[in-house]
Amino acid sequence: MDQKELKKKFVSLHGDAKISPHGYFSPGRVNLIGEHIDYNGGFVLPCALTLGTYLFASKTTDNFIHLSSLNFDYSAKIHLSDITKKQGDEWVNYPIGVVNEFIKKGMPITGMRFLFAGNIPDGAGLSSSASIEMGTAFAVNDLFDSRIDIIELVKMAQKAENNFVGVKCGIMDQFIVGTGKKDHALFLNCDDLTYDHIPIHLESYKIVISNTNKKRELADSKYNERYNECRKALDIVNQHRRVGHLCSLTLDDFSKIQNSFPDHTLYKRARHAITENQRVKEGARALKNGELKTFGILMNQSHDSLRDDYEVTGVHLDTLVEEARKIPGVLGARMTGAGFGGCSINLVHKESIELFCEKVGHSYKKKTGIKADFYVVDIGNGVKRLS
């Protein structure tokens, strides 16, 4: 996106040529492997993208938060005294929730103007929400010189989504947006927040994201449903062995108590969390050793578990993945994100990308009636101030 044009748009929106806003960039993310286990205390392996959210912001003295976007028609002007009120289901709840967290900390916040503009495909499951949240958190921290460290900003952004927006997400999305590193994946322990940046050497392969273009109507409600199912599964586990999270169990631990589940659905949810956690650990080792074929196999296993045990894929994602696996040069394919639409992620040889997009796109359109979109993406850095 043209930063100069965005700055001009900001000035024209607020009608004051004397305004000199600061610019920020906050990336989207894709999770290479480790889905639906961040809130189960597991390991995840996401990376930040060069797609993301641009944000221009400035302070005001009127105690109003002005929020506009080039991606959505809805805009808002909210007095700080009304900052605890949700604005229906509008996108502005993400930045409002973050500002709320600064106020809860007792930070001396005044009015602000924001203009957001993103190139993350809407509803694709590449975490535009965390991108907006972390962009807002970073900008507010910078504008008011609050000197809050990046990990605390990550926690504040997660709280905004959990407590204000009402989605019981784990911390993965905000964490990778805050701490991403170019050409690296983040190997994050969601239990204690220890992490390591793992270099990714794709050599002759590229990450290709396939977008179902199916609106994700169920994503938030089903996300919360799965979250609650995992809490119930953990209660059953704790009748036999006290653990803090499902992912604290090893596969051997789980095998000893698997017959104790009175509900097969809860058993499957727990099995996904525990096996997926193991796949992430193996995947991190594979990437460190440059074993891309092994990583591709783990990607395939991850999707199959999300389809069969966690039941968050659906016909659209399953079709993209099934068709992708038929293409020569594809090492692995799986859904990424919350599911029920959104995107799949694929590890594709450079020479197969054109064939991949043509064949998978044709088969998907024939089966679903929807045109898929494809993005060849690069791994970028975390949230930052623009020069």
pLDDT tens, 87-124?
A: 999 999 999 999 999 999 999 999 999 999 999 877 66
Rounded to whole angstroms, the Cα distance separating 50 from 182 reads 9
Angle at 173 between CA 169 and CA 178, to 5 degrees: 135
pLDDT at position 292: 97
Quote the tokens at residue 208: 């290709």
Q: Is residue 6 predicted with pLDDT exceeding 90? A: no
Rounded to whole angstroms, the Cα distance separating 133 from 99 reads 9
CATH topology of domain 205-377: Alpha-Beta Plaits (3.30.70)
Which residue is listed with tokens 């090492």?
331
For the chain, what are the domain ranges?
3-199, 205-377
Q: Is residue 216 predicted with pLDDT exceeding 90? A: no
Q: Within a 10 A sphere around the Cβ of 90, how many other Cβ atoms?
A: 14
Collect all residues with Cβ–Cβ distance below 8 Å to 174 and sequence separation of at least 6.
130, 133, 134, 154, 155, 157, 158, 161
pLDDT at position 74: 94
pLDDT tens track for 278-313:
999 999 999 999 999 999 999 999 999 999 999 999
Residues marked active site are found at 173
Angle at 196 between CA 345 and CA 181, to 5 degrees: 60
0.85 exceeded by pTM: yes
pLDDT at position 337: 87
Taking a C-beta distance cutoff of 8 angstroms, is the pair 304, 194 a contact? no
Q: What percent of the chain has pLDDT over 90?
A: 85
Rounded to whole angstroms, the Cα distance separating 112 from 121 reads 26
Compute the mean pLDDT over every residue in the chain, rounded to the nearest whole number.
93
CATH topology of domain 3-199: Ribosomal Protein S5; domain 2 (3.30.230)
Question: Do the domains at 3-199 and 205-377 have one common CATH topology?
Answer: no
What is the pLDDT confidence band of residue 147, given thresholds at 50, 70 and 90? very high
What is the pLDDT confidence band of residue 1, given thresholds at 50, 70 and 90? low
Rounded to whole angstroms, the Cα distance separating 302 from 333 reads 9
**How does DSSP classify residue 226?**
H
